[in-house]
Amino acid sequence: MNRRALVLMAPALLVAGCVSGGGGAQLGADGKPLPRVYQITPAVAAEIPYRLLDGVNALRSAKGLQAMALNPQLNAAAETHSRDMSVQNRPWHFGSDGSSPLVRVQRVGYTGRLMGELISETYQTELETLSAWMAQADTRAVILDPAARDLGFAWFQESNGKIWWTMVTGG
Protein backbone atom coordinates (compact mmCIF):
# COMPACT_ATOMS: atom_id res chain seq x y z
CA MET A 1 0.00 0.00 0.00
CA ASN A 2 2.84 2.44 0.73
CA ARG A 3 4.28 1.96 -2.74
CA ARG A 4 0.87 2.68 -4.32
CA ALA A 5 0.42 5.84 -2.24
CA LEU A 6 3.89 7.05 -3.25
CA VAL A 7 3.18 6.44 -6.95
CA LEU A 8 -0.11 8.33 -6.71
CA MET A 9 1.35 11.24 -4.73
CA ALA A 10 4.53 11.75 -6.76
CA PRO A 11 2.83 13.68 -9.60
CA ALA A 12 0.98 15.86 -7.09
CA LEU A 13 4.22 16.70 -5.30
CA LEU A 14 5.91 17.61 -8.59
CA VAL A 15 3.07 19.94 -9.57
CA ALA A 16 3.03 21.51 -6.12
CA GLY A 17 6.75 22.16 -6.38
CA CYS A 18 6.26 23.91 -9.71
CA VAL A 19 3.60 26.33 -8.49
CA SER A 20 4.88 27.07 -5.01
CA GLY A 21 6.35 30.39 -6.23
CA GLY A 22 9.78 29.97 -4.68
CA GLY A 23 11.91 31.36 -7.53
CA GLY A 24 9.50 32.47 -10.23
CA ALA A 25 9.39 35.88 -11.87
CA GLN A 26 7.59 38.67 -10.06
CA LEU A 27 4.54 39.94 -11.90
CA GLY A 28 3.55 43.55 -12.41
CA ALA A 29 0.04 45.01 -12.20
CA ASP A 30 -0.51 44.04 -15.85
CA GLY A 31 0.24 40.39 -15.07
CA LYS A 32 3.46 40.43 -17.09
CA PRO A 33 6.83 39.58 -15.55
CA LEU A 34 8.73 42.55 -14.17
CA PRO A 35 12.13 43.14 -15.77
CA ARG A 36 15.10 41.71 -13.95
CA VAL A 37 18.30 43.69 -13.63
CA TYR A 38 21.03 42.38 -15.92
CA GLN A 39 24.14 42.76 -13.78
CA ILE A 40 27.21 43.07 -15.95
CA THR A 41 30.05 41.47 -14.02
CA PRO A 42 33.66 41.64 -15.27
CA ALA A 43 33.37 38.06 -16.57
CA VAL A 44 30.16 38.87 -18.45
CA ALA A 45 31.62 42.16 -19.73
CA ALA A 46 34.42 40.32 -21.49
CA GLU A 47 31.90 38.20 -23.41
CA ILE A 48 29.32 40.84 -24.35
CA PRO A 49 30.98 42.34 -27.44
CA TYR A 50 31.57 38.90 -28.94
CA ARG A 51 28.01 37.70 -28.24
CA LEU A 52 26.66 40.84 -29.90
CA LEU A 53 29.05 40.48 -32.85
CA ASP A 54 28.09 36.82 -33.27
CA GLY A 55 24.41 37.77 -33.19
CA VAL A 56 24.85 40.56 -35.73
CA ASN A 57 26.90 38.36 -38.04
CA ALA A 58 24.38 35.51 -37.82
CA LEU A 59 21.64 37.94 -38.89
CA ARG A 60 23.81 39.30 -41.70
CA SER A 61 24.77 35.80 -42.86
CA ALA A 62 21.10 34.82 -43.08
CA LYS A 63 20.68 37.71 -45.55
CA GLY A 64 23.82 36.78 -47.51
CA LEU A 65 25.79 39.76 -46.19
CA GLN A 66 29.47 39.96 -45.29
CA ALA A 67 30.37 39.59 -41.61
CA MET A 68 31.47 42.63 -39.65
CA ALA A 69 34.53 42.82 -37.38
CA LEU A 70 34.94 44.63 -34.08
CA ASN A 71 36.87 47.85 -34.49
CA PRO A 72 38.70 49.35 -31.50
CA GLN A 73 38.18 52.95 -32.60
CA LEU A 74 34.45 52.43 -33.06
CA ASN A 75 34.33 50.64 -29.69
CA ALA A 76 35.91 53.74 -28.12
CA ALA A 77 33.39 56.07 -29.78
CA ALA A 78 30.53 53.84 -28.61
CA GLU A 79 31.86 53.72 -25.06
CA THR A 80 32.21 57.49 -24.85
CA HIS A 81 28.67 58.00 -26.08
CA SER A 82 27.15 55.40 -23.73
CA ARG A 83 28.67 57.17 -20.72
CA ASP A 84 27.61 60.55 -22.04
CA MET A 85 23.99 59.47 -22.53
CA SER A 86 23.96 58.37 -18.89
CA VAL A 87 25.29 61.77 -17.79
CA GLN A 88 22.62 63.49 -19.89
CA ASN A 89 20.00 60.95 -18.73
CA ARG A 90 18.52 60.69 -22.20
CA PRO A 91 19.04 58.40 -25.17
CA TRP A 92 19.86 60.50 -28.18
CA HIS A 93 22.52 60.79 -30.83
CA PHE A 94 24.09 64.08 -29.73
CA GLY A 95 26.79 64.35 -27.10
CA SER A 96 26.64 66.76 -24.19
CA ASP A 97 29.18 68.86 -26.10
CA GLY A 98 26.94 68.90 -29.20
CA SER A 99 28.96 66.20 -30.96
CA SER A 100 27.35 64.02 -33.60
CA PRO A 101 28.16 60.36 -34.28
CA LEU A 102 30.37 61.52 -37.19
CA VAL A 103 32.40 63.83 -34.95
CA ARG A 104 32.81 61.10 -32.31
CA VAL A 105 34.20 58.55 -34.77
CA GLN A 106 36.56 61.17 -36.20
CA ARG A 107 37.81 62.04 -32.70
CA VAL A 108 38.88 58.44 -32.06
CA GLY A 109 40.78 58.28 -35.35
CA TYR A 110 38.44 56.08 -37.36
CA THR A 111 39.34 56.61 -41.02
CA GLY A 112 36.47 54.65 -42.54
CA ARG A 113 33.01 55.95 -43.33
CA LEU A 114 30.41 56.15 -40.56
CA MET A 115 27.44 54.02 -41.58
CA GLY A 116 25.18 54.30 -38.55
CA GLU A 117 24.71 54.51 -34.80
CA LEU A 118 22.15 52.66 -32.69
CA ILE A 119 21.40 53.53 -29.08
CA SER A 120 19.25 52.14 -26.31
CA GLU A 121 18.35 52.86 -22.71
CA THR A 122 17.21 49.65 -21.05
CA TYR A 123 17.65 46.98 -18.41
CA GLN A 124 17.82 44.27 -21.09
CA THR A 125 20.75 42.18 -22.26
CA GLU A 126 22.74 42.95 -25.38
CA LEU A 127 20.91 40.23 -27.32
CA GLU A 128 17.49 41.44 -26.19
CA THR A 129 18.56 44.92 -27.29
CA LEU A 130 19.72 43.56 -30.67
CA SER A 131 16.33 41.86 -31.03
CA ALA A 132 14.54 45.15 -30.31
CA TRP A 133 16.71 46.92 -32.90
CA MET A 134 15.88 44.20 -35.45
CA ALA A 135 12.15 44.70 -34.81
CA GLN A 136 12.27 48.25 -36.21
CA ALA A 137 12.87 48.90 -39.92
CA ASP A 138 15.16 51.91 -39.46
CA THR A 139 17.47 50.28 -36.91
CA ARG A 140 17.38 46.93 -38.73
CA ALA A 141 18.64 48.76 -41.85
CA VAL A 142 21.76 49.87 -39.93
CA ILE A 143 22.51 46.30 -38.80
CA LEU A 144 21.93 44.86 -42.26
CA ASP A 145 23.61 47.63 -44.28
CA PRO A 146 25.58 45.77 -47.00
CA ALA A 147 28.31 48.44 -46.96
CA ALA A 148 29.02 48.05 -43.21
CA ARG A 149 32.27 46.23 -42.41
CA ASP A 150 33.29 47.52 -38.96
CA LEU A 151 31.38 47.39 -35.69
CA GLY A 152 31.82 49.27 -32.46
CA PHE A 153 29.80 48.28 -29.42
CA ALA A 154 29.87 49.46 -25.83
CA TRP A 155 27.69 50.21 -22.84
CA PHE A 156 27.55 51.97 -19.54
CA GLN A 157 25.67 50.45 -16.62
CA GLU A 158 24.46 52.71 -13.83
CA SER A 159 24.40 51.56 -10.20
CA ASN A 160 20.60 51.07 -10.43
CA GLY A 161 21.13 48.57 -13.27
CA LYS A 162 20.06 50.77 -16.18
CA ILE A 163 22.22 50.14 -19.24
CA TRP A 164 23.02 52.60 -22.01
CA TRP A 165 23.96 50.65 -25.15
CA THR A 166 25.64 52.13 -28.24
CA MET A 167 26.46 50.35 -31.50
CA VAL A 168 28.37 52.14 -34.26
CA THR A 169 28.89 50.75 -37.76
CA GLY A 170 31.38 51.82 -40.38
CA GLY A 171 32.64 50.83 -43.78
Domain count, the chain: 1
pLDDT at 24: 63
Quote the longest CA-to-CA distance of the chain.
80
Domain-embedded: residue 16: no
Render pLDDT for 2-40 as a digit per residue (tens, 0 to 9): 444 433 444 343 333 433 344 566 788 888 777 677 889
pLDDT digits (tens, 9 = 90+) for 34-70: 767 788 999 999 999 999 999 999 999 999 999 999 9
Residue 99: inside a domain, yes or no? yes
Alpha carbon separation from 1 to 4, 6, 7, 8, 33 (Å, rounded)? 5, 9, 10, 11, 43
Domain with 103 in it: what CATH number?
A: 3.40.33.10
Residue 80: domain span: 42-170
pLDDT at 143: 98
Residue 81 has pLDDT above 90, yes or no: yes
Chain centroid offset of residue 126 CA:
2
